[in-house]
Structure 1
Amino acid sequence: MAFTSPRSPPVPPFVTLVLAILAETIGTTALQASQQFTRPLPSIIVVIGYAAAFYLLSLSLRTFPVGIAYALWSGLGIVFIAAIGFIVFGQRLDWPAVLGIGLILAGILVINVFSTTATH
């Protein structure tokens, strides 16, 4: 008797986009840790992270318009990398940078709450 598994449900569109954002964040964090590609393991993680990020982003384009997908991908990536830079690498931001990141978050909120272009 052959083993058959139940068909798994399709992945919700936002999950694919969130995974793309996480992969990009991991790749960018590893880019800092690679010290200009002089450390092999972080350098490999950069390549894998960015490859996964672009692949997953391309999958999310099946559902999202490119402008919305890229705005969410890049905007949340900026926010996450700024937080990781602060927490992990001790990088400080001045108030204009914090304000700008706050505006990015506000833009993401506006897209998700008010736009009918973004699929929920």
Structure 2
Amino acid sequence: MKAVLYWVKAVLIDMVLFGLLAYGAAGGVTWALSIFLFWMWTITVLSLLIGLFGNKTWFPVYRPAGIRTYRILTEIAFISALAGLGLQVLAACRFLAMVGLLSARTREPKEGAAA
């Protein structure tokens, strides 16, 4: 029963985080991405601090069979999703820069018109 509860908790947490990421990335609302990023940074900083300064006996370690593989796969999926979002942001910035260059080029005076 303990293993089932551990798996349910792990899957629910990942579903919520992936849902917030997908909803925010699809243009739903900005608060979804804000919540996702807040929790990701919080989890990252806490994990780092606990790993560096924490005592291993504070948190009893119980991991059912297969959970390590599941965690590795979800981390790869998160990294892939965030890399995809980063590429979309990069493409949007390149598009805006191109539009800016084109609009600046059309504002230049024509050489034959000024006489």
Larger radius of gyration: 2
- TM-score, normalised on structure 2? 0.31
Q: Taking structure 1 as the reference length, what is the TM-score of the superposition?
A: 0.30
Point out the structure with the larger helix share.
2
